[in-house]
Amino acid sequence: MLRSLFVALAVSAVFAGVPTPEETKRMMGHLSDAEHFKNEHHNKQYDHDAFLGEDQAKAFDQLPPEESKRRLGIIADKIDSDKDGFVTLVELKDWIRYTQKRYTEEDTERHWRQHNPDNSEKLAWEDYKKNVYGFMDEMSEKEKNTPNSEGFAYASLLKRDRRRWHYADADQDGSLNRTEFAAFLHPEENPTMRDVVVLETLEDIDKDKDGKVSLEEYIGDMYKPEDGEDDEEPDWVKQEREQFTGYRDTNKDGFMDEHEVKDWIAPPEFDHAEAEARHLVFEADADADEKLTKAEILEKYDLFVGSQATDFGEALSRHDEF
């Protein structure tokens, strides 16, 4: 429901001219940041984003299958850094770290320049707010306080941004320098932002807004039965129910509170790049020797890059990889 609301918001925002589509995308991105932590049920997009970086993953989506396979072959050679013909877990993990870092660095640079064209050392909250949410000055209080309205949704995003800003502002001077701004934009990459990511995740899943996650909210976040179908739940959903009751809800009160959500999405020492690398190796390792050949990677090309190509004429905007 929330997601469709935000799609609607994105569309109307584009037509109204404010905020910029780029900003709206980032605001909506708030909702998906947390998904990166919940990689239990791997969705394909998550794998593609992790393997290629979000921007490249999008570009690959536009490619015809043969072309995306060809490029995947080039990438596979590149990942095999010692050129022994095998992509090992470590090489894959390093690659995933590298693409992730490249993406967040480029994304931060883009937003930093956009909000801070003079490249001052710091960006003040008031300036950022004016840039991103200035259009809300035209809205009435009533508009902003009516649940499920557009104004209400933007007001919630503003509030969320303000709080996230506070967490990112390491020296608490009200402004963010570039390092702090990177933490603000990509909290999932930054250990010091863990608590606010936990809060945002909890709030996204907590549909009835009682401050905790019930079993139904937990399942509802990952699984929606098709309309009008009352088929039996798939096995993985049943397993998730057991996970919730047996593990996630450690104090057995029937809910996940903030601490329990934190243990779930951000356990200490958990290495997402490594988890993702393990997952990819496991899925593609046909002969189970715990490393991948180029052939094994290409065989599972859908896992790594996929392709939803429909418009074969679409050109790629960046070529540096190839």
Ligand X SMILES: *[C@@H]1O[C@H](CO)[C@@H](O)[C@H](O)[C@H]1NC(C)=O
List interacting residues with ligand X (CB under 6 A): 170-171, 177-180
Q: How far apart are CA 277 and CA 28, in angstroms?
A: 27
Q: Which is nearer to ligand X, 183 or 266 (CB)?
A: 183
Q: How far apart are CA 154 and CA 145, in angstroms?
A: 10
In the block, tokens 């508009």 appear at: 143
Q: How far apart are CA 165 and CA 271, in angstroms?
A: 25
Q: How far is the CB of 192 from ligand X (least distance, A)?
A: 10
Q: How far is the CB of 157 from ligand X (least distance, A)?
A: 25
Quote the Cα angle for 232-235-238, to 5°: 85
End-to-end CA gap in the chain:
40
Q: How far is the CB of 316 from ligand X (least distance, A)?
A: 32
Q: How far is the CB of 181 from ligand X (least distance, A)?
A: 9
- Residue 76 neighbours by CB under 8 Å, 6+ apart: 87, 292, 294, 297, 298
Token pair recorded at residue 246: 């047996």
Please say whether the beta carbons of 150 and 12 come within 8 A.
yes
Output DSSP code: residue 80: -
Q: Which is nearer to ligand X, 148 or 172 (CB)?
A: 172
Q: Which is nearer to ligand X, 88 or 108 (CB)?
A: 108
Q: How far is the CB of 121 from ligand X (least distance, A)?
A: 7
